[in-house]
Amino acid sequence: MKTWKKIVVMLCTGLIVACHDSNNTDEPVIETKPLLPKKELRGVWMATVWGLDWPRGDYNAETQKAKYIEYMNLFANNNINAVFVQVRGMADSYYESPYEPWSKYITGVAGKKPDYDVLRFMIDEAHKRGISFHAWLNPYRIATRAKKTDNFPDLDAKIPVALTRDYSNIRVYNPALSEVRQRINNIVKDLITKYDVDGVHLDDYFYPDLPADESLNDSVEFKANVKKNTKGEYEMSLADFRRNNVNLAIKGIHDVIQATRPEVVFSISPAGNNDNNYNHLYADVLKWSREGWAEAIIPQLYSPMGSGKTNFNHRLHWWAQFTYNNALFVGYGIYRFDPASTEASYQTSEDLAKQFAFASTMRKVQGSVLYSALNMLQNKTDIMAVLREVYKNPAVLPYLGKAKAVLPGSPTGLQISGSELKWTGPANAYFAVYRSNGAGKTATVIAVTREMKQTLPQTGTYFVTAVSKKDNAESEPSQEISYR
């Protein structure tokens, strides 16, 4: 027994010595440089269907432009760095498309070409202000009607009637058809080839959510496409058939983006209730996340803080648990905040502040998107005071590419003249200017700019990074410079 105890003591002694050799990786790391703050997307949805956020029933080109510029200035002045503009809401378009007609919400007449390149104008005005532009598409919806006895609008000649399916309140592209999936892929490729969009975005409109007394009409396609096993049973259920159809559409969009312009971010904004996504809209969002078919998922968490399972905090906790190979942004329903609301939580902006505070505790959350733009202009319950506080400093967009980021070169030649900092940086980059708060401490972003100069707001130590215009990959920091 004594011999055994001696062996144990010798082994333990050897382990202790081994664990304290000169290569011990458990020694505390002493940071000698400032830390960069967390990257963050700050976006706003701009709905154009029915002219909701823009152009709001205005069919004059110049006043349309003025309304859009008003939005861009509002966003830039409040450190918002992304806009999600609906450019194809009902099988129509805000650009010249070989597949679908010009939207009637631009000129008042479906198919009528406006006097300016609408999408080019919108992208350019966003980019001038350092705002990334995400083209928001609805994959299936073609038209809606208030009741079954109403007529749908005439189907445009560009859209084959064989690809469509009518229900009591909505006309859609038939999700069960491979020709529809190919058409969607072609639309996406045409869009990202012709226009310098930073992202392609889908919301939660997949299979139509029909009234309780109506069923989806797809039994013919199911029987034609799903094989039977040796027992004469179909190899998948009707629900799985529908989910697979949407899966194929999502993967198809992902694949065409990766093959055409892989720097374009593909994002999806599902309903906050994933049971509804899975069982009614036939959207298997968790599969898309596991497969990495989207770079970002933005659940619509349009409910207040509280103790119930449907409340904002519980929903966000769930999504944070089940986010896999993509970024997670939070969709905020700012449209709900109104002094006249019947829900006390929305009669002031206090709950919005609490929602942002809770989201800030979630490590996986990398940003926010607000629904929608018009509510910022209206500013009921003073939601802008909350946003000004939450977004008080500028933020650098996160890199969302699938491959390892290729970093641009660091800015060089920093010099200060008066209160103006100047530098030299690589082409095809924009720049983030930071104020150092000391080694090992998180620096403060004071500006994100496309120029190679910046007026400094106060004395301190500063440095600059270059950020790729293509994919937001950020360089190593420049040398520091002191402003006294």
> Domain 41-209+220-391 sits in which CATH superfamily?
Glycosidases (3.20.20.80)
User: Can you tell me the mean pLDDT for 310-315?
Assistant: 98
The count of C-alpha atoms lying within 13 angstroms of the C-alpha of 10, restricted to the half-sphere facing its C-beta, is: 6
Mean pLDDT, residues 367-371:
98
Report the distance separating Cα 408 and Cα 126, nearest Å. 23
Q: Which element (helix H / strand E) includes 423?
A: strand 420-424
pLDDT digits (tens, 9 = 90+) for 56-75: 999 999 999 999 999 999 99
Give residue limits of the domains in the chain: 41-209+220-391, 412-483
- Which residues on adjacent β-strands are paired with residue 43? 82, 369
Q: What is the pLDDT of residues 117-157, one digit of tens each?
A: 999 999 999 999 999 999 999 999 999 999 999 999 999 99
Residue 10 has pLDDT above 90, yes or no: no
Q: Across the chain, what does the average pLDDT equal?
A: 94
pLDDT for 22 equals 44
d(CA 429, CA 366): 22
How much is the pTM? 0.93
Asked if 457 contacts 446 with a C-beta cutoff of 8 angstroms, the reply is yes
Residue 9 confidence (pLDDT): 43
Other CB atoms closer than 10 Å to residue 369's CB: what's the count? Answer: 25
Nearest to 267 by CA among 243, 250, 290, 283: 250
* Mean pLDDT within 232-238: 96
| Domain formed by 412-483, architecture | Sandwich (2.60)
- The pLDDT assigned to 30 comes to 66
More confident residue, 31 or 321: 321
**pLDDT band at 29; cut points 50, 70, 90:** low
- Among 32-36, 85-89, 255-259, 395-399, name the one with the lowest average pLDDT: 32-36
Inform me whether the pLDDT recorded for 387 exceeds 50: yes
Task: State pLDDT tens for residues 451-474.
Answer: 999 999 999 999 999 999 999 999
Contacts of 430 (CB under 8 A, 6+ apart): 130, 448, 449, 450, 466, 467, 469
pLDDT surpasses 70 at 4: no
Is the pLDDT score of 18 beyond 50?
no
Average pLDDT over residues 422-426: 98
Q: H/E element holding 412?
A: strand 412-417
